Amino acid sequence: MSKPLLMGILNVTPDSFSDGGLYLTPSDAIDAALRMVDEGADIIDVGGESTRPGSLGVEAEEELWRVLPVVKGLAGHGLRVSIDTSKAVVAGAALKAGAEIVNDVTALGDPDMAPVCAAAGCTVCLMHMKGSPRTMQQDPTYEAVVSEVRSFLLDSAGWAESQGIEREKIWIDPGIGFGKTDTHNLELIRHLGFLVSSGYPVLLGVSRKGFIGRLTGGAAVDDRLEGTLAIQAWAQIKGVSIIRTHDVRSARRTIDIVAAVQAAG
């Protein structure tokens, strides 16, 4: 069984919930990314706009100013770069600067995003989110969260294919914490195999998220490693293809141990 790819999170923002304000110069961000690669990251996911609950977003010009020097620098080092954006203009510029993946929390909500990605021939990650970052945690409700999220993602993937994005370049992400209660998050994690059975590579991002803090007695953002790794190990056993994390070294070790157990005998 192949190991999941490991995606290191690099937010060049002042307000992301965990690493906001840490990498506000291109040189600091590039150094951090190179450390993540040394620790075992396969992909660096560069984001210039916070999508934490309640965030208001930024204009495209500001987002471009934040991400483009970093993307160019990382691509120049030969790294595999993902751009975490919902704006087609940002995605297009980042792809020209050397990014290979577009990680879109709105699942191609920008009407220009699908044509940009199709023309570039890049990999696209489609995420489920109920509402917007500003509103998504205001009493999210579902009748059957697992089937509803799966249906949305498969419909989005089918639409992406109809727009010229190749099936083998489509990833799906259930959007843990994006318009979900703690119970919804746990149900989706429990049934990750149902998403994996769709045939699309599944990306899971749970790193340091709020529900892990609540499940571990109110642990602060920087004290959620054990909970994060437990869920990442579960996801790997269930067949998830990409794990997105802040804590690359620990996640790499966890991946390698789980893979060794899976390969034994």
Among the options 87, 209, 224, 238, which is catalytic?
209
- Told to judge if 209 belongs to the known catalytic residues of this protein, a careful annotator would answer yes
What does the alpha-carbon distance between residue 129 and residue 158 come to, in Å, rounded to a whole number? 17
What are φ and ψ of residue 46, in 5° steps?
A: -95, 125
Q: Are 116 and 91 in contact (CB under 8 A)?
A: yes
What does the alpha-carbon distance between residue 242 and residue 61 come to, in Å, rounded to a whole number? 30
CA atoms within 13 A on the CB side of 63: 23
Q: CA 258, 168, 202, 148: dihedral to nearest 10 degrees?
A: -150
Q: Are 182 and 150 in contact (CB under 8 A)?
A: no
Among the options 180, 208, 244, 252, which is catalytic?
244
- Told to judge if 238 belongs to the known catalytic residues of this protein, a careful annotator would answer no
What does the alpha-carbon distance between residue 8 and residue 97 come to, in Å, rounded to a whole number? 19
Residue 1 three-state SS = coil
- Angle subtended at Cα 119 by Cα 178 and Cα 94, rounded to the nearest 5 degrees: 60
What does the alpha-carbon distance between residue 180 and residue 261 come to, in Å, rounded to a whole number? 32
Pairing of strands 101-104, 81-84: parallel
The Cβ of residue 114 has, within 10 Å, a number of other Cβ atoms equal to: 21
What are the catalytic residues? 209, 244
